[in-house]
Structure formats: structure tokens, C-alpha cells
Amino acid sequence: MHEPETVAEAVSLLGQHGADASLYAGGTELLLAMKEGLLRYGHLVNLKTVPGLDRLDYDTSAGELHIGPAVTHRTLELSPEVAARFPLISDAESKVANVRVRNVGTLCGNLCFAEPHSDPAAFLLLYDSRVEVQGAGGSRTIPLDQLVLGPYETCLEEGEMLTSVSVPQFGPEMKAAYQKFGYHQRPTLGLGVAVRLENGSVAEARIAVGSVGPKPVRVPEAEELFLGKTVGDILGPASGPRLSVLDEAGRMAAQAAEPMDDLHGAADYKEHLVRIFLGRVFAEAVGAAPAAQRSAA
């Protein structure tokens, strides 16, 4: 167990020990995998010994939240600042795992492990978040949608460390909601919608879907489809033989998320969930009554 005092030292320890070393934050994933013998390391680099990495700051001038790598789910859940400015995050964080995992597990550890059944990886996409990464060769900034490549795979190079997640606040007119669904400890589906209405119709829309497929995604096609439509257009029934807006957007979202068969359910079941939850979450975001549950024609 190494106890670095600076990020540079942590990164250099990782470089020195290569594949035999791993960063260790809360350990809620790492220790599980090591106990199961799935991962083996001779060296753990405890990032919690670097002072300041547990900082959770709100930058007033930029309107951004900065989440350090030692910030736990529980800290985010209980932070009054997060509750006031990012209510969606505080609510979603209170529903991650159980209180013991939230006490110890970090948001950055969640992102870096890239277990597909993850909430933050999905809801942070709604905010156009960015991550800062530091390696031996210096630091770089990556848009969050480029971080996760697939199950347990991120674009971080060996020896690189995620040093911060930056989350820009929504504009004042943005209405957003996130819901998760599942019967297991981890989510089967996580879906978030953020919309801005202008004179009753959608002027900006963001849709993020997580957990059902190999990685969380935004769905630009469906976001575009919502533009210019009223809440009634979106939640209303189909006109004529065409699919309703919601069914069509749901189909796009399901396609983009690439649902996989796994212990949480079959791919076509998850496709169905995506369509249903898109309606529910949109309705919650705009404060409308939930859409009548219609199946696609």
C-alpha cells in the first residue's frame, strides 16, 4: 500500500510499477475484484492520502461543480450546495447502491471502473460534464462522453489518473429528471432528460440512457426530434398511422443505447424499458402527468 502525498507522486508510482499497480480510492469495486481473484496487484496506490482530493467545490464564476477523486457518493448526497444547485445529482446519488457503499465508494472510482450498470456515468452526461486526467506526460481534459469506451474500459492510459470531474450547472430554465429501474443492487436502466421550453415548445433537449448497454449514451437523434414540439405533442398519441413522437424517440434511444442480454434481462425487454422510461422521465422533468402507457404500433 502506497501513500502518496501529491498527484504527481501517485502518477509516478503507477508508472514505476506498471501493470502490478492500481489506484485505490474507496475500494468498493477493487477489493471485490481482488477478493474474487479477478484482479491481482502487488501495489495499491491510495489516492486518499493526497491532501485535497476530497474537495467538492462549486466555482461560482464558471457555474461549475468540481468533484475530486476522493469525493464519496455520500458526500455528494448530503452536500447542501449540491442539493441547492444540482438537485438531480443529490437525489440520484442518494439512490446509488446502499449507504455503506455510498459512505466509502467515490464517484470517480465509479466512472473509472466503467461497470456498465452505473448511474453517475449516465446522469452526468446530461450536464455536458468533463473530466481532468493526469499522467506522466501531463494533464488533459476529456468530455465525459468520451471517457467510457465499453464495459470496464475507459480511454485512460495505463498510469493515468482522473483528477477531477467538472459539471456545468444547467441554465435557470432547464427542467430535468433522472430515474433508475431495477430489481438488483445495481441499476438495470438509468435514464435522464433535461429540456428547456420556450413559449410552450422544446427549445433544447438532452437525453441520456445508461446501464442497459455497454456504455451510457446521449441520444442526439431523439433530442432533435423533441425540438419545436410541445409537451402535448410529445406525450400525446400518434396522429394517423405514424408512430407517436415518444415511441419514435424511444426507439431511437433504445437503438443508441444498444441493450445487451445479461442477468438484468433480455435486450428486447430493456428496449421496452427505455421507451417507457423516456415518457415517464420526460413527464417528470416538465411536471406533466405521466404519458398513457401505449405500446408501439
Partner 1 sequence: MSSNRQNWSIPIELTVNGRGVTLDIPPQLTLLDLLRDRLSLKGAKRSCDLQVCGACTILVDGMAVSACTYLAYEARGAEVLTIEGMADGNDLHPMQQAFIDNGAFQCGFCTPGMILAAKSLLDETPRPSEEKVKEYMEGNICRCTGYRKIVEAILDAAGKTGGAAG
Binding site for ligand FAD (CB under 6 A): 22-30, 47, 69, 96-97, 101, 105-106, 108-110, 112-113, 118-120, 156, 161-162, 185-187
To the nearest 10 degrees (0 to 180), the angle between helices 267-286 and 245-257 is: 130
Check binding of 18 to partner 1 (CB under 8 A): no
DSSP, collapsed to helix, strand or coil, labels residue 109 as helix
Exactly one of 7, 34, 56, 136 binds partner 1 (CB under 8 A); which one?
Answer: 34
Select the binding partner of residue 120 from ligand FAD, partner 1, none (C-beta < 5 to 8 A, by kind). Answer: ligand FAD
Binding segment for partner 1 (CB under 8 A), chosen from 20-28, 139-147, 174-182, 195-203, is: 20-28
Using Cβ positions, the residue closest to ligand FAD within the complex turns out to be: 109
Select the binding partner of residue 96 from partner 1, ligand FAD, none (C-beta < 5 to 8 A, by kind). Answer: ligand FAD
β-bridge pairing 21-24 and 43-46? parallel
Name the residue nearer to ligand FAD (CB basis): 221 or 262: 262
Cα separation of 287 and 290, whole Å?
A: 9
Cα separation of 199 and 203, whole Å?
A: 9
Cβ-in-10-Å burial (0-12, 13-18, 19+) of 261 comes to exposed
Q: Which of 56, 58, 48, 57 is nearest to 1 (CA)?
A: 48
Backbone angles phi, psi at 233, to 5 degrees: -60, -40
CB of 38 to partner 1, least distance (A): 12
Exactly one of 31, 83, 136, 267 binds partner 1 (CB under 8 A); which one?
Answer: 31
Residues found near partner 1 in the complex (CB under 8 A): 1, 20, 27-28, 31-32, 34-35, 40-42, 44, 94, 97-101, 103-104, 185
